[in-house]
Structure 1
């Protein structure tokens, strides 16, 4: 039955899917930049080939041609970037060059310039679940440090997402969706212009039961062996259901753009279980709301361009998790072991930048900003408490019923953090074929102090068809509120004296236009990450662990890319990435992250309005964590196939048939050591999706 649901088809109208005429594509390229330009590297639109960073760009047409429906699917195409899954509600886990953590704190996510980091965990937007691509116009990714421009958390890379602005793609697009994994959705988008005014409204609502692959054993399976019970729900399916609502309103007037957006995910299942024990009674709700105002003017003063950004983001999280099922711990919990943490958070951002081009051969950018992060209304209910037995460990003691412990024993208390920062960047044209980009940013935090991070990038046009780059930068990750202030979760403690993680990276890159139809890129990198934030067991390990800056990770490797366009309407993108990273504390290879990745994407215009896409990725060489005695993780290869019908008109229909995991591979991502879920976390098996779109 689960397989039949997996193989069911979807009927959909894609909000951003209708193809456009060449003139429309040219207009979008002028507004957002084409695939050969990038803005994320310096904050200015410039040639991707000459940008002082190693970057990947996806335009609106790239997104349509890929067949991806969610951001995580699109990011799988980036060389050196792997999207794994975590035990924490099956969240995406971003791994770059062997740098990774359970909550992906080392990768910064920006949407329309607004940071999407959780201030509690430091992760990209807590309870991320999914981000549909309906409203996404462009995605840019830099691999390597970005703190000299973007500050905290841009340690291993930055992902910048740009949504459609007011007035772009004028008209109305309507859609319905139903099918795979019992997925249903409805969507509507309208955009228009009148004089100096422009507007856009987008709404998408849906639900899904999520993938139905089986977990054969879990943490409760092991407890059943100890207590002689049969409480575990394994073998059973992960709970990956959720209901979603996405809303965005944008208004433009002359140099101003205002937006209000809401991302709501309700009834979220806990994946394999928050305590790695299966449950179908969990739920979590999150609302992420944004109000933002942007102003940008070229020629504000002679030789000066200016930008202002102000935003307020508000997050609400509520939940009730069944950590262990009814009958756990020898029947002490007839209703199951329950815990329900919740919290509100608010972040205010104000940033201004000036670009000065009046000094010959120089382009100077001055950036200044302020951010206030508030964690408030922290709350928790649960029907247990932990009793620590020295030398034995912690044991859950039943409370008899759900008890509000928000004041008596919460996992964290309200916190506030202020940040002030200042950055300076100079793009200096040393000679006709040489450009030196130098940057420096200073961040001062109210809770843990200050940090300064520089960058240097030398770009040389060695020949008309060859560009060489030498790059060096330093970056940091700010400790999250949980790492600083956790007091009972259940016995893992924060450390108010924790300092930022730090990283220094050196890269050498070459971009060669070997033929008018063939482009080759090679990037060599080496990094050292130190002061890594980890939970370190106490002298008596049974009493828990505390966050400490402990350990250093060294890594090196390469990313090779090729783009071949053998004829009109044909394109092949291929990459091979390899990294070796080691934890100097243990001497072992870094756990979980792939050592080798090969990726292939083929896009072909077959006949008239018909096209196909083929994407494949091979993930290999993942090591187990220290102390994990399970067999080595198996390599896997996934292949996705798409068949697309697109009319070459601004209005009308389009259709796509997508077959994901075409070979029905049994692919798995690692569960946490030492293996409470012994057979790891399965990825979805073969499934199909049929999409229809209409634009009018």
Structure 2
């Protein structure tokens, strides 16, 4: 993955989103209109590229989100994949989930064409409730939809992203209950780091119609960025799953003094789609505000305060047929709110010892008579205290020791510790040994859900409230090696993850939520990035995973195949003469089940291709590209009845 040295100032970033619903675009018509125009641009006179790639692979990056301390990758207590904006641009991806399929250990699937799922080392159901995702330090999981991050992950414009840090493994010691299986930290671009005006358009097969516009102004003391975007497609073949995502982002960066940075965001996202196999219309909306103040006391002390408020609304009207043939709707509507306040202090105690510590208070409430059978709002509070110490034992040994204590108003307290030891064997070569314990706190739906669907026997959920936090103990050994003379970096990770008290919907009619099973995951991952010459960049990922499950009944088979036994991906970027660029990504994987079902998916590979050309029109920097996803044809992706289709589209981006 393209790795680059990072300026920590860009971590202080926030986004604003407001959304509208787009009109449906017909299947192939968009590509037919766009291709002739964009192909003409591809052969237009070339201009020199303004973005230098000289340092693209030169140095390992500084990572900010693992221990909450800014650390070079060789000192981090975990395996991290960093995706920078150059990789995002050249990947041809349309959303965040599409990028994560190229991260070792991640499993990507779809409930249908409108609802992608991304999780690390598989999951035991079709909800993304064990993965923590941040956007500029704001957690984006759904309070209402059982901790799911799938809908919020679609509420990002990829052109606005500076970089993505993906910790491959649990990090409850730094970020608490939601960081159970992994952490994805998205850092967006500052307003001073983007063109004053940008516009992009993508049109193609399967109704693809993506468009965005961005305007930025200001200086180092006050800068503002506004981004509006609308995207959509017609989903998978033979399924009612048209998707539209509308969003609007605002980010303001203020620097009132040399020692202070203030960041403000507010926004809205709307995800609207049709649902599979029934007369159903679903609509998820999210609005949020966020503020952060960072004060630099001196060279050795930094204080940060962060606060955010999220509100989401879900409208889900479902029609079913009674025995008498009368069509009657039932609903799963609701509103969720979350208020989070956090303080953090980073200090250097001595030349060899650094400490970050702080606390967080979070309040959540849900109002949904449909799924709780209560008119009043249900609420819960969470209090956290966390800390991490980086201790340098001489020149070659680094100890990271940290923990988070959490107290949930319904479930009670628990503690998640971590201990990691990094040994620099030689300059550029590091061994890492680590152990951590993680918990996942049940959501309000898992604790108090009462969702009745009388005409669909077996689907009623009536939670008794007895479910306890899930528990995970993970041990790993890793190696990071730089071979600068070869332009090669290797990242290896071997792991064992032991989970217990897995929360399941169990009982048939009604379904309770209970802690039922335990499991063990073992395997290894490798990430190899190679730049044999300035024009060529290669990324090779490979994961081997073995799952042992002690589940009972019908869940045993699906548990042991919740993720492929092996996954491999290859990314190849090539800079061609006359301003052309070529990109290829290839993904192949072993057999697996999906979403707690025993149906085994086919193991068809996926091949994506991209041909682009960067050029100038007067003073405007432009890029035209033609992209094909799944060029080898459709393949099973998630639900065994659903096939991700081959689709081609063309893009045009203008930076003024």
Global fold match (TM > 0.5): yes
In structure 1, the residue matched to 2:284 is: 286
Distance 1:655 1:198, change over 3 A: same
Matching of residues 24-103 of structure 1 within 5 Å: 36-86=61-111, 90-103=114-127
Cα distance, 1:308 vs structure 2? 1.0
Q: Tell me the alpha carbon deviations over residues 77-126 of structure 1, each in whole angstroms, 9 at most, x when there is no partner.
A: 10110111126x84222232244432111111111111111123333346
- Tell me if 1:372 matches 2:363: yes
The 1:195/1:452 distance shift into structure 2, 3 A limit, reads closer
Over the aligned positions, Cα root-mean-square deviation in angstroms equals: 2.9
In the other structure, the counterpart of 2:264 is 259
- Residue 24 of structure 1 and its aligned partner are, at CA, apart by 10
| Aligned 1:556-595 pairs, distance under 5 A | 556-586=522-552, 588=557, 589-595=559-565
Question: Which stretch of the first structure deviates more once superposed, 144-153 or 195-204?
Answer: 195-204
**Structure 1 residue matching 2:218: 3-state secondary structure:** strand
Which residue of 681, 685, 689 maps to 2:642? 681
Any conservation in 2 of the 1:412–1:487 contact (CA below 8 Å)?
no
> Is residue 146 from structure 1 mapped to residue 171 from structure 2 by the alignment?
yes
What is the distance in 2 between the residues matched to 1:49 and 1:301? 26
How big is the shift at 1:212?
3.8
Map residues 391-430 of structure 1 onto 2, 5 A cutoff. Answer: 410=373, 414-430=377-393
Give yes or no for contact 1:241–1:269 (8 Å, CA) kept in 2.
yes
CA-CA distance at 1:283 after TM superposition: 1.8
Task: State the partner residue of 1:401.
Answer: none
Aligned CA distance change for structure 1 residues 5 and 238 (closer, same or farther; 3 Å): farther
Maintained 8 Å contact 1:466/1:511: yes
Counterparts of 1:209-288 in structure 2 under 5 Å? 209-214=233-238, 237-254=239-256, 255-270=260-275, 272=276, 278-279=277-278, 281-288=279-286
Q: State the distance in 1 between where 2:228 and 2:83 align.
A: 23
> Structure 1 residue 646 and structure 2 residue 614: aligned?
yes
Q: Distance between the aligned counterparts of 2:281 and 2:338, measured in 1?
A: 25
Q: Which has the larger radius of gyration?
A: 1
Shift of 1:523: 0.9
Moved more, 175-184 or 160-169: 175-184
- How far apart, CA to CA, are the structure 2 residues paired with 1:124 and 1:250? 28
Flag the 1:583–1:517 CA change in 2: closer, same or farther, 3 A: same
Looking at structure 1, the residues matched to 59 and 374 of structure 2 have their Cα atoms a distance apart, in angstroms, of: 47
- How far off is 1:340 after superposition? 2.2
Residue by residue over 1:657-695, the C-alpha shift from the partner in whole angstroms, topping out at 9 and shown as x without a partner, is 10111111x311343xxxxxxx52211x22111111111
Using the TM superposition, give the Cα deviation of residue 443 of structure 1 relative to its aligned residue in structure 2, in angstroms.
0.5
Output the CA distance in 2 between the equivalents of 1:297 and 1:24. Answer: 33
**Is contact 1:656-1:692 (8 Å) kept?**
yes
Aligned pair 1:605/2:629, yes or no? no
Aligned-partner Cα distance in 2 for 1:79–1:613: 19
Distance in 2 of aligned mates of 1:647 and 1:35 = 30
| Residues 265, 291 of structure 2: 8 Å contact kept | no
Are residues 410 and 465 of structure 1, via their aligned partners in 2, closer, same or farther at CA, if it must alter by over 3 Å? Answer: same
CA contact (8 A) 2:208 2:649 kept: no
Q: Is the 8 A contact 1:180 1:687 kept in 2?
A: yes
Is 2:529 the partner of 1:555?
no
Q: By how many angstroms is 1:648 displaced?
A: 8.5
Match of 1:184 among 188, 193, 209: 209
Change (3 A) 1:54 1:412: farther
Contact 2:310 2:337 in 1 (8 A): yes
Whole-Å separation in 1 of the counterparts to 2:638 and 2:615:
43
Distance 1:302 1:680 in 2: 58
Structure 1 match to 2:625: 656
- The alpha carbon displacement at 1:267 in A equals 3.7
Structure 2 Cα separation of the partners of residues 98 and 174 of structure 1: 36
Corresponding residue for residue 229 of structure 2: 204
Output one character per residue of 1:539-579: Cα deviation in whole Å (capped at 9) or x when no partner: xx4x3221111110111001022111110021110011011
Moved more, 142-151 or 180-189: 180-189
1:596 Cα deviation after fit? 1.1
CA distance in 2, matches of 1:122, 1:626: 16
Deviations 1:229-257 (A, max 9, x none): xxxxxxxx232332523332424233333
Structure 1 position 115 matched with structure 2 position 83 = no
In the alignment, what sits opposite 1:398?
Answer: none
Matched, 1:503 2:506: no
Shift in CA distance, 367/560, structure 1 to aligned 2, threshold 3 Å: same
Q: Distance in 1 between matches of 2:401 and 2:576?
A: 46
Contact 1:35 1:57 in 2 (8 A): no
Aligned to 2:344: 353
Q: How many matched pairs? A: 607
Distance in structure 1 (CA, Å) of the matches to 2:425 and 2:616:
40
Secondary structure of the 2:592 match is: coil
| 1:72 match: secondary structure | helix
Q: CA 1:590–1:162 in structure 2 vs 1: closer, same or farther (change >3 Å)?
A: same
The answer on whether the counterparts of 2:170 and 2:179 sit within 8 Å (CA) in structure 1 is yes
- Where does structure 1 lack aligned partners over 5 or more consecutive residues? 215-236, 273-277, 381-405, 672-678
Question: Do the aligned partners of 1:593 and 1:622 also contact (CA within 8 Å) in 2?
Answer: yes
Aligned mates of 2:28, 2:197 — CA distance in 1: 34
> Which one of the candidate residues 128, 143, 159 is aligned to 1:104?
128
Q: CA deviation at 1:618?
A: 0.3
Q: 1:309 to 1:108 in 2, by over 3 A?
A: same
2:222 touches 2:252 (CA, 8 Å); kept in 1?
no
